[in-house]
Structure 1
């Protein structure tokens, strides 16, 4: 059964900018640019009835489109780095959307996410990269900043277990403000 998660897609122009950051870090398994995304909520392996209930609940999310920007690079894992990522600049609209996803997941019986939400785009997963190599990579490229981009939808992705992330398949797309526009009519 595929794993599910909700996410925001990265526009192709921003993905191309991120792709230029690939390389120069021994032991990195680089994510393919078409798989870049900002996870909202990891769901995991669920049966068809839960997946259908989630898809229906997500259809009721009523949020306005908003702008995001990527700003700076960092790594998860401290002394044993696990991944390198691009930070998402602070956005209350993003945090509100993610909190709503968290509430919906708990409503269908999924346990709460155990980690604090840190919006990011994973660029590489690390195996044998030392903390020094990662620090050097970040010092050379850490000032990365993307142009702002408009978020007009979120998606429900599925993935198959694989090394390095992806390929991801959009199972359903949910436009932002769709309900607000319908109510205005």
Structure 2
């Protein structure tokens, strides 16, 4: 079984800027900068045959390159925060690419993604972090900015099933039009 998801890679220059946000919060397990990515569609644990179908379906995606602009920081989980992230500003190209992935995967029989698409780059996974401490961490970094970039491709990633945060492996890469 493979644990798969589609996403956009974060270039090293943007990853360096994101890595400056690391630290200053107990209970945080920081994602290594080489594993920063923007998930388009989490797929889950898939057998080899279905993985081949997914790779084939994704090869038919023909979309323009995707502009990516960072937009602040946040936390998932409300009063019980479980992850810190750098937000991504909405862009039509990004929304359309994600929606096409969703349609293609449903067409080959996978269930729909139950969560609303919230474009972001996960920075850390939290365990036992207090909401007040997380709010303070976010306040100190509220003005975060990083250079925008244009994603020239999307990828099919695999991950180990038992550990979030990487390492992630690029199984297939699909170019986007320039």
Q: Which TM-score bucket, shorter chain as reference?
A: over 0.9
Q: Which residue of 2 aligns with 1:113?
A: 113
Q: Which residue of 2 aligns with 1:29?
A: 29
Q: Deviations over 1:84-127 (max 9, x none)?
A: 00000111110000000000110111101111100000000000
1:146: Cα distance to partner? Answer: 1.3
Quote the Cα distance in structure 2 between the aligned partners of 1:107 and 1:2: 20
Quote the Cα distance in structure 1 between the aligned partners of 2:49 and 2:129: 41
Q: Whose radius of gyration is greater, 1 or 2?
A: 1
Quote the Cα distance in structure 1 between the aligned partners of 2:40 and 2:175: 15
Superposition pairs for residues 126-141 of structure 1, below 5 Å?
126-141=126-141
What is the CA RMSD across the aligned residues, in angstroms? 1.0
Q: Does 1:73 align with 2:76?
A: no
Q: Which runs of 5+ in 1 are unaligned?
A: 179-185
Q: Which runs of 5+ in 2 are unaligned?
A: none
Q: Which residue of 2 aligns with 1:144?
A: 144
Q: Deviations over 1:33-75 (max 9, x none)?
A: 0000000001111111111111011001010113111110000
Would you say the 8 A contact 2:2–2:48 is kept in 1?
A: no
Would you say the 8 A contact 1:55–1:172 is kept in 2?
A: yes
Q: Does 1:49 align with 2:62?
A: no
Q: Which residue of 1 aligns with 2:59?
A: 59
Secondary structure at 1:41 match in 2? strand
> Moved runs in structure 1, 4+ residues, more than 6 A?
none
Matched residue count: 178
Quote the Cα distance in structure 2 between the aligned partners of 1:172 and 1:55: 7
Would you say the 8 A contact 2:2–2:47 is kept in 1?
A: no
1:148: Cα distance to partner? Answer: 1.2
1:175: Cα distance to partner? Answer: 0.1
TM-score normalised per structure 1: 0.94
